[in-house]
Amino acid sequence: KRRGLEGLIVKKKRIVMIVILIGVILALGIALFPMLRVTYLKMALVFSSPEALKEYVLGFGAWAPIVFFLLHLLQVIVAPIPGNLVALAGGALFGLGKGFLLNGLGVIIGSVVAFYLARGMGKPLVIRAVGETFYARYSKLFSGKYLLGLFIIFLLPFFPDDALCFLAGLSTLP
């Protein structure tokens, strides 16, 4: 009888801890919402045109290449950020050679991060990132017999490569 009572106490403690954690998360969300909204609106303006993005990045002075690289990495992971806009701004900001290098590194590392986020977090994250329709349409490409088709799709221009990186994270690809 004592074991049953101890188990019940442990369960109640866990429930209390979960309720406290949810309360803290909600309180932080409510407190930070205005700041997050302002940040979102500011970023929407930054990504509204290549000129706005260029001005924003150049505002960081010597840190501009690192900021640009991080923005490019983020554009792979965060779908609403337009990749073509970021790539164009890279060329305008840093010239052909350095812009190409920063664009390439941002896309490659961002793609790897997307792949491993999907691998670690699973199908719910992927569906949230790419949408249910896209997932349903393209997830079959990631089975063994279609992997060559996946490679070919990655080579096609204007195809959602970022979303494919998330889907690839769910596949058997090493």
In DSSP notation, 153-174 reads: HHHSTTS-HHHHHHHHTTSS--
151: left (phi over 0), alpha (psi -120 to 50) or beta: alpha
Nearest to 89 by CA among 63, 40, 55: 55
Model pLDDT, residue 130: 84
Model pLDDT, residue 82: 66
Sequential pLDDT tens for the chain (174 residues) = 556 667 777 788 888 888 888 888 888 878 777 777 777 778 777 777 778 888 888 889 999 999 888 888 888 887 656 677 778 888 888 888 998 899 889 888 988 898 888 888 888 888 888 888 888 887 777 766 666 777 777 777 667 778 888 888 887 777
Question: What are the backbone dihedrals phi and psi of residue 19, each rounded to the nearest 5 degrees, phi first?
Answer: -65, -45
Model pLDDT, residue 57: 87
- pTM, rounded to two decimals: 0.66
Model pLDDT, residue 140: 73
What's the CA dihedral at 157, 160, 161, 167 to 10 degrees?
-150
- b/e sequence 117-139, b meaning 16+ C-beta within 10 Å: bbbeeeeebbbebbeeebbeebb
